[in-house]
Amino acid sequence: MQKLIERFIRYAKIDTRSDESSSTTPSTLSQVRFAEMLSKELIELGLSEVKHDPVTGFVTATLPSNTVEEVAPLGFIAHFDTADFNAENINPRIIEDYDGEDIILNPQEGIVMSTELFPNLKSHKGHTLIVTDGSTLLGADDKAGVAEIIEAMIFLLDHPEISHGDVRIAFGPDEEIGRGADHFDAEGFRAQFAYTMDGSTLGELEYESFNAAQAKITLQGVSVHPGTAKDKMVNTAKLAMEFDAMLPQNEVPEKTEGYEGFYLLHDLKTRIDQGQMTYILRDHDRIKFNRRKETILAIAKTMNEKYGAERVVVEMHDQYYNMGEVIAKDMRPVELAKEAMRNLGITPVVRPIRGGTDGSKISFMGIPTPNLFTGGENYHGRYEFACAEVMLKAKETIVEIVRLNATKPRV
């Protein structure tokens, strides 16, 4: 566990935040440098076919088969970018034998991770936690997955008595801005199925994700002096409020769970004469998903007719689809993961992802790719933490999946 912690912290300290406003791939130079570092490390570890593709940003490698038996090749995938939150000067701290109480992250700033706000902390009493200093995220999403995959490969290299087929690994950029997997070379990956190591709590096994779309809405107003504004001014802040009020007010993230979809007003910028709104639309059901897109367009049409001008312009695109549509046709990776977890004394927790992973896109590229737990929690902010014991279980789950796969007939 100590080696896993050390590798994770070393990776976590490196700023690899992605940037949605960038037009490059990867979106930030820090990700390029991290990928170059990873590729060198994989070569030094003795993995084969190590490649850093400067066009896609992905780093791939192979642990070659060590058996004469015909075994289905499989893969493990993680992303190395981090979310849209401060990632400069990350300072991880280890808490051994956690007492189950509130954690003071930063006494100078009064930043506390409370068990009242985060009751999930209490389940980790007695565990080893890795936390932030309250000024940055941690990067367990998804540096934990990167570290676990690599440590699992090291274990398999050190234990050749464990028979296995070809194991492919891939680490990629820009997952957090929803476009890294767009450039994934699924054919070149040469895996019949794969797993993203991008989940959270112990036992998580997810093979259903949202269908996702983004709607960028431009609002066009009219700015005149407020003293002479009667029947002339059109304030885009008011247009934005009117637009949002026409959406179902209970279908938002803070009021939904499970399979319930939502509309999220993600960004809003206005001045009197011009404004921009960005919504993300999510639903597990494809029919309901399409209806959400139709609702956005219908509201825009209604408002434009009301104002007698094109005050609301919608640009909308799909981001990814529910990977369950693909994986349901080949449940082999799901059943294999369940069996591996049970062998390790882990109870599989099968539930839909209220989000998406690279596996959402990769599954539609022809490689069924469910998602597994990593041990990180409270992602995308200052309260992010990782549990070392769960991280170790994630690594062990990878090894057991690889071992079990060699006992199954090739399909």
For the stretch 152-174, pLDDT in tens is: 999 999 999 999 999 999 999 99
Mean pLDDT over 331-353 rounds to 96
**Residue 400: per-residue pLDDT:** 98
**Residue 178: per-residue pLDDT:** 86
Residue 2's H or E segment, with its range, is helix 2-12
Q: How far apart are CA 172 and CA 32, in angstroms?
A: 10
Mean of per-residue pLDDT scores for the chain:
96
Q: How far apart are CA 204 and CA 352, in angstroms?
A: 10
CA end-to-end span of the chain: 35
For the stretch 179-217, pLDDT in tens is: 889 999 999 999 999 999 999 999 999 999 999 999 999
Q: What residues form DSSP beta bridges with 111? A: 106
Cα separation values, 243 from 222, 246, 267, 299, Å:
17, 5, 14, 7
CA 407, distance to chain mean position in Å, is 31
Domains of the chain, residue spans: 2-209+322-405, 211-319
To the question of domain 211-319 being in CATH 3.30.70.360, the answer is: yes
Residues tagged active-site = 81, 175
* Candidates 2.40.50.140, 3.40.190.10, 3.40.630.10, 3.20.20.70; CATH matching 2-209+322-405: 3.40.630.10
**Residue 410: per-residue pLDDT:** 63
CA-based nearest residue to 368, from 335, 410, 338, 326: 326
The model carries a pTM of 0.91
For the stretch 209-222, pLDDT in tens is: 999 999 999 999 99
- Asked whether the CA dihedral 180, 183, 188, 192 is positive or negative, the reply is positive
Token digits of residue 394: 């994630």
Mean pLDDT over 377-404 rounds to 97
For residue 139, pLDDT over 80 is answered with yes
For residue 396, pLDDT over 90 is answered with yes
For residue 176, pLDDT over 80 is answered with yes
